[in-house]
Amino acid sequence: MPRKLPALVKEPTLPAVVQPPVAVVQPPAHPYQNLDRSTRAAVARLTGGVSPHAVGAALGDWALHLARAPGRQLELVERAQTNALKLVAQATPAVTGPDAPPAFKPKDFDHRFVHPDWQKPPFKFWQQGFLAVQDWWDFATENIRGMHPDDADRNRFLVRQMLDTVAPSNFPWLNPEILAETSRTLGHNLTAGAIHFTQDMLQALTQTHKPAPEGYQIGKDLACTPGEVVFRNDICELIQYRPQTETVQAEPVLIVPAWIMKYYILDLSPKNSLINYLVGQGFTVFAISWCNPTADQRDLSLEDYRKRGVMAALDAIGAIVPDQKIHANGYCLGGTMLAIAAATMARDGDDRLASITLMAAQVDFTEAGELLMFLDESQVAFLEDMMWQQGYLDRPQMAGAFAAIRAEDLIYTRAVQRYFLGKEDLPTDIGVWNGDTTRMPARMHSEYLRGLFLENRLSAGRFAVEGKVIALKDIAAPIFVIGTEKDHIAPWKSVYKTRLFTDSDLTFVLTSGGHNGGILSEPGHPGHHFRIGERPGGALYEGPDVWFAETAPQDGSWWPEWIAWLRKNSSGSVPVPPTGAPAKGYAPICAAPGVYVLQD
């Protein structure tokens, strides 16, 4: 349930122009159909929202194609023999030498075997044996001629999930780090771990949020850039941030975050807050903070989020900073929504956008990333039945999907640290944000899964807004696109496709890091680098591999490059505008970060 509004904050009356969403009226279902949906919804809760049919179809596709491929079978036998010989050699120092490198290495993101004792017998043999089996299955689940390519990725993911459950690092008697810590603490680590396990189990059963640790309070330590909420309806709040410079660029900036996350990923600690950095560089900044919907808002649609979210925010900014175009910035699915809004505005002759920035945002979903590898008709119907019963996609279901993508690190490494080593989670700003999950209303989630991910209507020219199709190539405003090298949610080559479907001047940046870490790339952050290149409007298309090979990396943060690009597309400095516009119905309501970000 949402938190109650603070006592000092008066619940606003929604503007008269804001109408509640109209529920879709459907004919009553037959009781048998409702029984089927209820049954599937119950199964969905047990499987974390993953359709058993999608899993079974992927495994069946692989097994049937492998059964009629004797050559491939011989390859697998040969790979097993090779891996076995490598293990034998590894176990024979007289043959390989005591300083020989390991035959098999964990993946870069796999931190289960970092303890130095994993390189000593007998732990080394158990580790190498597991990695050898993992290597064989990675090879075995490669695509076979005639197989659906997506099924190869699905099978590799499924096998990886199963293997991770039996990794030697998960068992106290096989893990040298656990054995050493148990000996050192006389078993106190296991007692502390049992307490942690009980706490986490109770939290999972009661579906409660952990309170933010000391030093990570929202509005005080996180989401703490000063500002005021100047507009609120039932979907979003609009925050206007207080200026930090004597003058500002004439064109204000609107930030559109994804509705599957709290907006303050872009306003974490002051040191890595993109919003705070942008304000400090002399821009008037506005940000949308989405509500955390309940079952009563199950019928909110994708169009509601566009019209009463993005467009309502643009209207408010136009009233507060009149006669100026707006730099619009969208992150993740917020960027997809912004692209839809911008294409609709271009179609309708609305030229209020000075520029468009898309951060880790996709407009084409044929390579949508690991998060949606199981998405098909069966999977969407399965999720729809689950949401039909509860009214939304719940927080644990989304959090579990994100964690499963990197289960080695996000699930098993954390479990070992917390339950067997007895260590508390070290709080971080991004960790606190990551645990502050949200819900998604049933109708909107179904619409974007079908219209964008499953049917890919936006880039295919089949996405309609208000009954008329929109086209990304109609956008004339300059575009700045950021992809991240290790993004498993919005792979950078998929993000890069924005160049394929637009014709305006476009600057593309590829930065180091992942979906969140690459965006939070503040100046001075060690080890970060980026590539940047511009495509003039109307230029010929250049593929991502060619672009990558021809574009040299640069050390540092991409943020200053973006600031320079925004200034190049601005008209100069002007006096600081007022906060809100009370005479036009946009009086300040409360201090940032507002109340929606506090909803549980």
Active site residues: 332
Across the chain, which distance is largest between two alpha carbons, in Å? Answer: 85
- Name the phi and psi angles at 358, rounded to 5: -120, 115
**Which among 164, 102, 168, 199 has a CA at the least distance from the CA of 178?**
168
DSSP code at position 222? B
Residues 6 or more apart whose CB falls under 8 angstroms from that of 142 comprise 152, 156
DSSP code at position 487? -
The sign one gets for the Cα dihedral 310, 311, 312, 318 is positive
**Which among 476, 510, 468, 478 has a CA at the least distance from the CA of 491?**
510
What's 122-151 look like in SS3? Answer: CHHHHHHHHHHHHHHHHHHCCCCCCCCHHH
Q: How far apart are CA 412 and CA 165, in angstroms?
A: 8
Q: How far apart are CA 336 and CA 256, in angstroms?
A: 10
Question: How do strand 253-256 and strand 440-441 relate by DSSP bridges?
Answer: unpaired
Q: What is the SS3 assignment for 290?
A: strand
Count other C-beta atoms under 10 Å from residue 503's C-beta. Answer: 17
Q: How far is CA 412 from CA 409, 419, 420, 435, 591, in A?
A: 6, 10, 11, 17, 40
Helix H segments across 166-222?
176-185, 188-206
Q: How far apart are CA 383 and CA 388, in angstroms?
A: 8
- Name the phi and psi angles at 257, rounded to 5: -80, 170
Map tokens 């209303």 to a residue: 441
SS3 content of the chain, % helix, strand, coil (to 5): 45, 15, 40
Q: How far apart are CA 365 and CA 460, in angstroms?
A: 10
- Name the phi and psi angles at 285, rounded to 5: -115, 135
Q: How far apart are CA 107 and CA 369, in angstroms?
A: 18
Residues 6 or more apart whose CB falls under 8 angstroms from that of 206 comprise none
| E strand residue ranges, 163-284 | 227-232, 236-241, 247-249, 253-256
Residues 6 or more apart whose CB falls under 8 angstroms from that of 254 comprise 286, 287, 288, 313, 314, 317, 326, 327, 328, 329
| E strand residue ranges, 431-518 | 440-441, 464-465, 468-469, 479-484, 506-511
